[in-house]
Amino acid sequence: MADLRDKTALVTGASRGLGRAIAQRLAADGATVIVHYGSNVAKASETVASISAAGGKAYAVQADLQSADGVDKLFAEISAPLDIVVNNAAVFSSTLFDTTVDEFDRVFAVNVRAPFFIIQKALPLMPDGGRIINISSGVTWFAVPELVYSMTKGALNVLGRSLANTLGDRQITVNTVSPGTTHSDMNAWLRDNPEAQAGISGITALGRVGEPEDIADAVSLVASADARWITGEVIEVNGGFYLGPRTPLHH
């Protein structure tokens, strides 16, 4: 396991799903975790309680990242040092003709604007050698109907590369973790759909759908000192999704 003792980590959207798994893993590695949530205080409390029960340290902070002052509200509760930032919070979008202007603005506000200004606010609190980790998605390289969501994740990929170059002098690494299809609240449709699960497993080299813990383990790696020479990367964490026709190895 990574050694994150004496580190403080902010994980946005950590009340459930991938964010909860990431918060739990970083806490297990020794970090004090700031569990950000948007509105579901009960779920955020569950995340904090699970970390505490496992011997870790965490506390919850509420902020509506859709609002213009949401990031300011979040950072009113955070002080230095802030060693690790994980921009995980995200909302999904409709398809092309179902997307309204309000929805377009909301999705970009949460998925792009908030990470940008969270990083802006975090940097004065972050010691040299800190870690910034953005959670993207495989939809940046394969097509899905939810165009606006895909566009926002592409923006995070660009943000990570450019920011890594800017912050290199401070030895702050910036990496993007890009999950493939993963069991999560955003993919709740998969839970009761064995045909879809089988289809995804069939085009995945490791033969299954991802779990939140698979993503959390990758975040733990890039948050650790062992990843000190990794920056500006988009790391696909998808079990070998869609590499091509699967050809069994015959002896």
Residues designated catalytic:
149
Quick one: how many helices (H) and strands (E) in the chain?
A: 8, 7
The Cα–Cα gap between 166 and 172 comes to 9
Structure tokens at 176: 């993007």
- CB neighbours of 129 closer than 8 A, spacing ≥ 6? 170, 171, 172, 228
Q: Is 239 left (phi over 0), alpha (psi -120 to 50) or beta?
A: left
Q: Is 33 left (phi over 0), alpha (psi -120 to 50) or beta?
A: beta
Q: Within 10 A of 115 (CB to CB), how many other CB atoms are there?
A: 27
Residue that has been written with the tokens 């569950």 in this structure: 46
The Cα–Cα gap between 47 and 49 comes to 5
Q: Within 10 A of 208 (CB to CB), how many other CB atoms are there?
A: 13
First to last CA, the chain: 36
